[in-house]
Structures are given as structure tokens and as C-alpha cells.
Structure 1
């Protein structure tokens, strides 16, 4: 009699390889998991003016020499939304595959950068000590890989660990983390942790903190717990209070929750493209919205200039092929491009990007449902963003 795989096993295996299945998760998270809103506040919606800048005609040269126009880029990236702001004006806006301007789309690991903003703001205000050990704020983490790490180590992915005695593998650990917060993603026979807290408790150090860069979700979840202890607020309430309610957002955002009602801070955040663009525009403008500071100017302007010497500098972007040049830095959970334009970005799996380039007066939001497979080359999103930016800059 042929073996029929349980539904949970089928979901596990196709989770990263079927764009329609990916899109189900990226656009309908509230229907699949418990969630908590990030309140938009009582402020009046802030308008985004618009004009057509003819971006559809721009020819994009990919690193492999191919030339693409936007429809071809959208096909390669399984694009759900692209929004381009130039000098605060919407010059391009596209929605595909049923995504709409009001759709709260999964941001994936781009959410790490938003938490980095919260931590950097609290540190600037003197409420968080970057040099303090994590265990000083969360004693329960003392015996884990995160306990001896400084807050600054968490902000720069500076821990080394293994979970539950497994040899560390980035892709496997990413899927295991997804299983913690989404039971429908459990592989057959799963008996692992069922909450973020339980997951973190299984992490054991395999090296001293602060000595190497390793991109790992646990750093962000440990940091999120620190911020909850410092402020007494949920992650959703903290993001609303410090940032989201002050942007003039169209919509509430939301986080998905684990079985204990804790936000998946490292990747469970969803919001509309327009509201994420508002966040990016605030950063492009030195942390201000309409002349009022939302985050301290020093926090916004040091995302690029504040990268510590010798720490997480010239790291390799996770999706880059092994032979590509390692030309990125990482600071306070943001990717720094080290380009002539002061560009930085929040980046998430399947093509989620918030790209900010102050010297090009540029903010780009991309939402996607791109397949993650060695047989499917990544879409050249960042080269496309920069070429769009230089095109707009040339128009004056």
C-alpha cells in the first residue's frame, strides 16, 4: 500500500518552494495564526503625493549581464507589490497576485530592522544599556547562548550557538523556528518547542559572544524579550507607541503570536507597502515626519555611519552565491550597502525589502513570494533599486 504523507509533512516540504503556498502565508497571516495589532494611533493619515516618473521604461542590468524591464523583474521575484518614493512622492506603485494597497503583507526578517530601531531609540534615551549582559534584563536566559551576550552583540548577530544539541545549520534552524510559531508547519512527528521561550531555552553557546557574525533569529527574539522587560510593553504596543502611531499610517500593522501570546519579533510582522514606505521615508528624513522627530536623528543617521570598526563589517548577504563579493555591513539589525549613496535596507525571505538611499532621495518597498531554491536564482532586487534610483536622480 503506498505511503501517504501527513498534511503537516507536505506543508513542511513545500513551505519555501511553491510561490502560491508562500503567498498564502505572506498575505493572509491573520487567517492562519493568532495575531496582535500594532495600532496606527489617532493621528490623521499622512498623504503620499504621486506622479508618474516613467520607471516602467527603465532597463535594469542584472549582475549576470541580463537586461530586464519591470515586468520581467516582477516575474523573477514573484512580486506582490512594489512602491517607489522619490523625494517623498510616489513615482511608481504596482500590486499583483491579489495584493492591494490595503493588504497587510508579511515583512519576514525585515521586521528585525524595525526592532533594531526600537532598541537603538531606547539606548539613545538611556533606558537600555548596550554593554549590559542579556541576563541582566532576562535572568531566565542566563544559562543559554544569549545570557552572556551584550545587548550590542544581539544587535549585531554576534552570538554562536546550537539548538537542542543539533549542529547549527541556518536553513534548518529557520524552518525549526517557523515550526515553533506555526504548528501547521510542523514536520511529521515534531516534538520540539512550541513557544519562542522554549526554543530560546534550548540554545547553548558554541563560541564566545562578540567574536563572529552569524545571522540567527534567536538574537532578535532575545532582544525583544529584553525590550519587553525594560518597557513593560508588548512588542506590538512598543512599536505602536514609539513609531507606528506617529507615521500617519493608513492601517494598523500586526504581529503573529506564538502559543504563549508572544510576538514573533524576528519575522512575524505584516503591514501595507504604503505604511512601510512611510517608515522608510521617516528614516530618509533623519527620523522626522513633517518636521517632527519620530526617532532621534542620531539613531536614523548612524544606521550607516555607526557600524563599529571590525564588527560585522563586510559580511556576506545570506542569499548571495558563495563566490560573490562580501560588500555589506550589518548594524543594529539593518543591512548597510557601503555604496556611494548611504543606502541601507531591511531584508526578508521571499523578497521582502525596505530600501532607503538618502543621497538618492529614494525609498523602495518590495513585497514578494519568491521561491527559495538553489535551482531558482535570486531576483536582482538591489541592483534594480539602485538603477531606478540613479535614473530618478538623473531626471533632476
Structure 2
């Protein structure tokens, strides 16, 4: 079995394990900290920093109470049954920090897990909830949303309504004078190889991502740019003159919101309505989904999906099964193949990911490892994950509320644990 030291390979300094708000060796729950508990609450969340600890312990499970959301209807059909074949994976060990053995149970505590579910060969084999979360609780996906959005786009590509080789301006004429996206193709948006000036440094108040979050209505109404909306913001993004489009993978969340705009133009529907019609009402979900929207109603396709753990597991199983789930082909199998096999490794090489997965790539908003099991994954800040291992037919989903957004050390710890879990089912 091939073992990868994810944390060592990335050489992350990471964020130290927070000692504040701890009790009995574990993070305190939002209820234990008294966040939004009283009537009226004595301890409320900070709307300018609700996605940071400790407020996110409450906020990630209550998004619709303080942000605008659009509903994603599950339709009227029955929920797709989820078979149980439970086994206790808590004591499964893997190489953790500094190469020292760590158990899955310890990882779940250390990484501020809210919900964790393992599907193997279509059955739930392990399911845990923390911090007051339940199977009926929706949770923010953060940038796992990007991979959901990229999967949705594949339906439009397959039926010919969205052409990956076309220019963005063929669908969005408003982009013709946009410096960053005016000459970019749909494919370059899908694979984040647009040569745009966009910093994703959450700690830098001058980074483009900070203004981006304001335009998605994630920071309240009384901040600059909030009323302009995310689509208007996308037209202002500058182009990096040092490189052409298509040359290098450069992670920039605004790409996914442009993709959301492309989906709306190609489908002729609002994002949430098309998501409902094309995937969510076909999946047999237990619950309606949600997605946050800006003050003009545009969806935050880059990070705003809000779903239950089991419904995200259903979605992940659908992707594992080449787009087939609930007795129907929901996403074209060719699109899943395109994600897994058609990426640009040369564009991946300049990134830090190449130190872990040298043969990997980023395709259609998914990370593809090209490891010996063909694993691919979705990841979001504060510890959100989908991990798919086609060899052992394992799909793993994880919701977390890490106090630091880009806690690279603990995110890599999650990768190591999920990889070990998936490999443990190898025959």
C-alpha cells in the first residue's frame, strides 16, 4: 500500500491546535460557549467574522438565520434509502503529525469535526456527529461548493448548452470589457487557469478575496461593495500580464462565481432553480438544500452551499458511481471521466500540491491526485471535505468548524485520515 505523509510533504507550518475554548481535551460546543443560546442571546456572533472561531461553531449550522439564502428544492419524490453496514473505525491508525500514529477518533477531535460519514460500496459504514449537529442539520460547505458547481456544469456541457472552448463573453457579453475574464474561455474558468490578479490570502485585508466575500453578502450590508453584487465585482478583476490564460492553475474563488453566472446564462434559470431541477430533485435527498445569495440574488457558487451530511454523502456516492444514483443517470458519466482523466498536469506543477501528488491536476473544480487508487477530492476552508476512492469504492464527507480558515496543517491531517480509511477497505 502506498503511504503518503501529507503533512510532511506540504511542509506546512500550519495553525497550532487551539487551546482556547477547550474542555476535557476537546473543543467546546457552541452551546457550551453560550453562543446564541439565551433569549435574547447574551453572546451573539460577529457578522464581520462569523466564519472564524469560535463563532463558526454555531454559524456554520445556522447560515439561513443571518445570511440571505435561496432554497434548492429536493422535489416531491421519496428519499433514496441509505443502507447501514456500520463498523467502528474510531481506532484505525494512520500517520499523523510528525509521522506519529494517530487514530481516526483523535483526528475528529483535533480537526473540530461537526459531522463525518464514510460510505463504502454504497453503504454507510461510519457516521459521527459533534457540536450539536444531527443528520437533519444543514452545514456550510465552503469551497466544497466549487466541486458541486463544477459537477452541475457538466450537465450543460453534455447537452451542448455550455461549450468549454467558447469564450466567457459568448455567454456573458458584460465581460467583453472586463480586464480579467474578457478573453478567457469557459474551460479556463472550469480549471482555474485564468491569468487573473486575485489573492486568496484571508489574513490580508487588501486581498481580492476580502472584497469578494463582501460582494457575496457574507459581511453584511454596511461594508464597501456589498450592494454591487458578485457579478459586478467579477467584471473588475484585473489580468496578470506576466502569464497567459491556460498556463497555470491559480486558485481563485471568483472563477467559480463566474462559472455560476455561466450556468445561469446557459440554462436560462437561476442557479438554485437549475441545481434543483438537474441534480437535487433527482438525487433522492432527505432535505432541501440552500445556497447563500448576494443582495442582488446571485448565488455564491464558490462557497455558499448549505446541505446535510447525508445528502452530501448521496451526492458524493453519485459522483463515485459515474453520475448514476437513485436509479437514474443524473450527471453524464463522461463528465466524471473528464474530471478524473483529462486534467492538465503541467498547469499543476508550479503549485504546492505537486509535492504531494506530482501526477495530479485540477479539473472541473475538483482536485485529482492521480495516486495509485485514483483518489480525487473536494476541499473547503475550516475543514470541509469530500474524498472519493474509486478503487475501494469509498466516499467520505466531513464538516468541520476549524477556528482558522486556512488551517493547512489540520486540513492535511483530514486528507491523511480519509486516505487511510479508504485504503483500509482494499481487498
SS at match of 1:182: coil
Moved more, 357-366 or 379-388: 379-388
Match of 2:371 in 1: 339
Q: Show the counterpart of 1:383.
A: 416
Q: What is the match of residue 3 of structure 1?
A: none
Alpha-carbon distance between aligned partners in 1 of 2:90 and 2:82, rounded to the nearest angstrom: 20
Any conservation in 1 of the 2:283–2:326 contact (CA below 8 Å)?
A: no
Structure 1 residues 292 and 376: CA distance shift in structure 2, 3 A: closer
Which residue pairs with 1:178 in the alignment? Answer: 213
Equivalent in the alignment of 2:143: 109
Aligned 1:184-333 pairs, distance under 5 A: 184=219, 190-194=223-227, 195-207=229-241, 208-308=244-344, 310-312=346-348, 315-317=351-353, 328-333=360-365
Corresponding residue to 1:120 among 154, 165, 172: 154
| Residue 89 of structure 2 corresponds to residue 67 of structure 1 | no
Partner of 1:149: 184
Change (3 A) 1:325 1:308: closer
Are the aligned partners of 2:200 and 2:251 in contact in 1 as well (CA < 8 Å)? no
- 1:352 aligns to what? 384
1:324 positional shift: 6.3
CA drift of 1:17 comes to: 4.3
Among 83, 86, 91, the residue aligned to 1:49: 83
The structure with more helix, counted as a fraction of residues: 1
Per the TM alignment, residue 173 of structure 1 is displaced from its structure 2 partner at its CA by 2.7
Secondary structure (helix, strand or coil) at the match of 2:277 reads helix
Q: Where does 1:7-46 land on structure 2 (aligned, <5 Å)?
A: 12=48, 14-15=49-50, 17-18=52-53, 20-46=54-80
**Contact map agreement 1:45 1:249 (CA 8 A) in 2:** yes
The 1:8–1:66 alpha-carbon spacing in structure 2 relative to 1, beyond 3 Å, is same
Decide whether aligned partners of structure 1 residues 196 and 8 sit closer, same or farther in structure 2, where only a CA change above 3 A counts.
farther
TM-score (norm 1): 0.88
What does the per-residue CA deviation read over 1:288-333, in whole Å, with 9 as the maximum and x for residues that have no partner?
114421111111223111213534457434xx9xx86766410000
| Alpha carbons of structure 1 residues 170 and 148: separation in structure 2 relative to 1, 3 Å | farther
Corresponding residue of 1:135: 169
CA distance in 1: counterparts of 2:406 and 2:234, whole angstroms: 29
Q: Gapped runs of 5+ residues in structure 2?
A: 1-42
Residue 8 of structure 1 contacts residue 185 of structure 1 at CA under 8 Å; is this kept in 2? no
Q: How far apart are 1:373 and its partner, in Å?
A: 6.7
Backbone CA RMSD of aligned residues? 2.5
Take 1:386 and 1:294, find their aligned partners in 2: how far apart are those partners?
27
Structure 1 110/252 Cα, relative in aligned 2: closer, same or farther at 3 Å?
A: same
Distance between the aligned counterparts of 2:191 and 2:200, measured in 1?
Answer: 19
Tell me the distance in 2 between the aligned counterparts of 1:183 and 1:346. 22
Distance 2:218 2:129 in 1: 30
Deviation of 1:341 after TM superposition, in Å, equals 1.2
Verify the 8 A CA contact 2:345 2:360 in the aligned structure 1.
Answer: no
Q: How far has the Cα of 1:122 moved from its partner?
A: 1.2
Change (3 A) 1:240 1:101: same
Q: For residues 60 and 185 of structure 1, what CA distance do their matches in structure 2 show?
A: 42
Matched residue, 2:30: none
**Cα offsets for 1:169-195 (capped at 9, x unmatched):** 543333322222236468xx8433531
Q: Structure 1 residues 272 and 108 mapped into 2: Cα distance closer, same or farther (>3 Å)? A: same
